[in-house]
Amino acid sequence: MVYVKPREQHQPKRYVNMNIVFFEKVRKILLMNEHTCPWWLAYTFDHRIRRLVHKPESILGPYVKPGTTVADIGCGMGFFSLEMARLVGKDGSVLSVDLQRHMLEILEKRARRSGFGHLIRTHLCTPERIGIQQQCDFALTFWMVHEVNDKQSFLA
């Protein structure tokens, strides 16, 4: 007598993409499971080469006019805040908001060095509340909404 394995026992093998598993593990170790971009990681994207892809003057130019008050929410080290200060000029102001104090400290240092320190005011917020009272003509939330827990309330 010949024994034939029932069909259901011939299950296809499940393959796991080890690259994805590996990189996800590394990402979790580096970011310490946090969803917020750590300050030191910002050095990898906040530099001159980024200007080839994200041209701040082209992105902001149509919206940020001389003499206006603008906000950069989730400003990081100020890649856009500095350009915003240049665009609003001496009669405008920039409010740079982030929930990491160290990001704001680096931005303040950069702003002083660039000569725009007097136009940029920094504000430390919390994950739940931006907490600025000032009215703004324009607000930028560039590459940060993905880090916000309650996106719906944030954008409401």
Ligand X SMILES: C[S@@+](CC[C@H](N)C(=O)[O-])C[C@H]1O[C@@H](n2cnc3c(N)ncnc32)[C@H](O)[C@@H]1O
Neighbours of 124 (CB within 10 A): 13
Question: Does 79 participate in binding ligand X (rule CB under 6 A)?
Answer: yes
Stretch of 5-13, 19-27, 96-104, 131-139 lying at the interface with ligand X (CB under 6 A) = 96-104
What's the closest the beta carbon of residue 46 comes to ligand X, in angstroms? 5
135 torsion bin: left (phi>0), alpha (psi -120 to 50), beta (else): beta
Number of residues interacting with ligand X: please give it, by CB under 6 A: 21
Among 88, 99, 111, 120, binds ligand X (CB under 6 A): 99
Specify the 3-state DSSP secondary structure of 16. coil
SS3 content of the chain, % helix, strand, coil (to 5): 45, 10, 45
Question: Does 138 participate in binding ligand X (rule CB under 6 A)?
Answer: no
Nearer to ligand X, 88 or 148 (CB): 148
Among 103, 107, 111, 120, binds ligand X (CB under 6 A): 103
Rounded CA-CA distance 118/116 in Å is 5
Burial of 65 (0-12, 13-18, 19+ CB in 10 A): middle
Question: Does 104 participate in binding ligand X (rule CB under 6 A)?
Answer: no
Q: C-alpha dihedral over 80, 154, 129, 77, to 10 degrees?
A: -20
Question: Does 107 participate in binding ligand X (rule CB under 6 A)?
Answer: no
Among 37, 82, 95, 119, binds ligand X (CB under 6 A): 37
Nearer to ligand X, 46 or 137 (CB): 46
What's the closest the beta carbon of residue 97 comes to ligand X, in angstroms? 6
Crossing angle of helices 101-114 and 79-88, rounded to 10°: 40
Residues in the site for ligand X, rule: CB under 6 A?
A: 36-37, 46, 73-76, 79-80, 97-100, 103, 125, 127, 142-144, 147-148
